[in-house]
A and B are shown apart, each in its own frame.
Chain A
Amino acid sequence: MNDYEESRRAGARLAAEHNIDDPFAAAIRATRMAMIVTDPSQAENPIIFANDAFLRLTGYGRDEVIGRNCRFLQGPNTDPKAIETLRAAVAAGEDASVDLLNYRKDGSTFWNALYLSPVRNDAGDIVYFFGSQLDVSDRKVIELRARDRSDDLRHEVEARTRELTQALEQKTVLLHEVDHRVKNNLQLISSLLLLQNRRVADPNVKASLKGMLGRVNAIATVHRRLFQSEDVERFDVSAFIRDLVADLMGSIQRDDIEMQLDLERVDIPAAKAAPLALVVNELLTNALRHGFPEGRGGRIFVGVRRENGDFRIEITDDGVGIDKTSPVSGFGLTIVQLLCQQLKARGETTDAEPGTRVVVLLPVNGAH
């Protein structure tokens, strides 16, 4: 075998330069680190020297490796990219350090942390390549296992995210469907009240129906506002009051009553929106109905602002006042009292001289 003979002779030449008492040569022969020397002056850059550690690591005999290019250690699962890195380094005469899956003589594999570096003579020409091989299978297995596990985790997270996104979409669709039905049913209820109101003649029944219609409208106004903002949990009281006042004033058609609004934007939990709307509706209708009998005009002030951890809602009229007229509608008053209790709100009615001032203090969080 020509290659073998030539490489063996090259190896012998190399050995001749290092006598038996050369401590560096002795160290390389005896070290537990696998090491080889290759000869780039020959075609195929064959191995001309391999130490015992290299033979132990790969399972080959010395005469089976001398004269061969290192690539006999590669196999079907060796990463082509790592091989290319190596080839490029050799071609450029540079160092290379790669983790390579290599195959032993018996076909078993090991992870080889290969370090390759050119050896130059005094003229700077490359005369040898020196390679050291370290079996890093243990570290590599842990690494690969960790990568597999993180891949698994990532897939799991992705799958879960998909599920949750889907669930959220379904929930949103459902929410819109429910919202749609609530609005349609409120519309149906108010149409029923309106239709019956057209049929009855008794002014007392008419007044009752109108009162109920106003309350249903207040709740309807809440629901129109509720899903307009992106945040379905919060409800803007001021915007609601503006709508309610516009609707109430429009329907009673009393040009002699002036509305004055001073509304700061105040958000409350959506769950409190309907009861609060009903309270405001009662207070406003009371002020309109009892403060200003036909022919008696005036002014109604509605203010909303934060004050010492409360939402302060004030409704003041300069009408005829509480004491000078018949007592406030029994049912309306009951509604206000019950809902204030429910909302943990405090209501105070005072004489505005002239007229009536009602202040409702609603705690921002929890009770007083």
Chain B
Amino acid sequence: MSGKALDVLIVEDEMLLAIELEYLVEEVGCHALGCAMSADEAVDLAARLRPDLALIDVHLSDGPTGIDVARRIHEDCGGTALFMTANVKRLPEDFAGACGVIGKPYSEHGVKTALAYLACCLTEGRAPGLPPVGLTLAPRYAQLWGLDQPLSKSA
């Protein structure tokens, strides 16, 4: 992959998904910092470990707290949040400060290309092209990374 090795925090209450995600993160050359299953755990880990990227499910073990987690990681911990949810339509319009969303069910390849793409965006400060299939960027980040029509090829 082209970007630097990102430190990635996984916020997911489904253990099997979290573990598999850890493998995928490592396979694309990123570094998995750990997994959090609840909002408190996630914010606590993010404050201590300072991840570059946090992969966040909306529904955590303490309820639909993922949106709040994304906002706090974005605002308080300086990390970039990315949602991974089956409920893409329920996300707030501003993505709670997150850079985008990968819709569930995602594929192994979908996650890997999205991670590689984001690693590039985060290190270069601009997108290497349109986002890959499966990744939708938040309008603010699409603009930030130099994409004018962020939603034209999203899925």
Contacts and interface: CB of A to CB of B under 8 A. Distances in A.
Interface stretch (B3-11, B13-21, B36-44, B75-83): B13-21
Interface in B61-117: 86-87, 89-90, 103-110, 112-113
Nearest to B58: A180
Contact of B105 (A192, A198, A224, A228): A224
Contacts of B19: 191, 195
A238 interface: no
Given A195-B20, A224-B103, A188 B109 contact: no
Given A187-B86, A191-B16, A250-B113, A223 B105 contact: yes
A180 B90 CA distance: 11
A247 B110 contact: yes
Contact of A198 (B23, B86, B90, B109): B23
B115 to A, nearest CB: 13
A246 B113 CA distance: 11
Interface residues of B, number: 24
B121 to A, nearest CB: 18
Which of A191, A195, A198, A243 neighbours the largest number of chain B CB atoms within 10 Å of its CB?
A191
A194 B20 contact: yes
Contact of B107 (A179, A239, A242, A251): A251
Contacts of B155: 224-225, 228, 239, 243
Interface string A202-232: 0000000000010001001101110110000
B133 interface: yes
A243 B133 contact: yes
A19 interface: no
Given A187-B17, A224-B103, A194 B87 contact: no
Contacts of B109: 247, 250-251
Nearest to A253: B109
B106 A187 contact: yes
Contacts of A242: 133
Contacts of A183: 86, 103-105
A365 B110 CA distance: 34
A176 interface: yes
A318 B62 CA distance: 54
Contact of A194 (B89, B90, B108, B110): B108
Nearest to A177: B87
Nearest to A219: B105
A188 B14 contact: yes
A191 B17 contact: yes
B59 to A, nearest CB: 8
A62 to B, nearest CB: 81
B133 A220 contact: no
Contacts of A227: 89
Nearest to A189: B105
A180 B16 contact: no
Contacts of B107: 190, 217, 220-221, 247, 251
Contact of A180 (B87, B108, B134): B87
Interface string A329-367: 000000000000000000000000000000000000000
A225 B103 CA distance: 10
A180 B17 CA distance: 15
A126 interface: no
Which of B20, B86, B107, B113 neighbours the largest number of chain A CB atoms within 10 Å of its CB?
B107
Nearest to B23: A198
Interface in A232-282: 239, 242-243, 246-247, 250-251
Contacts of A180: 86-87
Contact of A192 (B16, B87, B90, B110): B16
B20 A191 contact: yes
A180 B88 CA distance: 10
Contacts of B20: 191, 194-195
Interface string B18-32: 011001000000000
A225 B105 CA distance: 10
A195 B19 CA distance: 8
A365 to B, nearest CB: 29
Contacts of B87: 176, 180
A281 to B, nearest CB: 12
A192 B89 CA distance: 26
B133 A184 contact: no
Given A190-B105, A239-B155, 15 more contacts: A176-B87, A180-B87, A184-B86, A191-B16, A191-B20, A217-B105, A217-B107, A220-B106, A224-B103, A224-B104, A224-B134, A227-B89, A242-B133, A243-B133, A246-B132
A-B pairs with lowest CB-CB distance, top 6: A183-B86, A220-B105, A251-B109, A186-B105, A191-B20, A187-B105
Interface of B: 14, 16-17, 19-20, 23, 86-87, 89-90, 103-110, 112-113, 132-134, 155
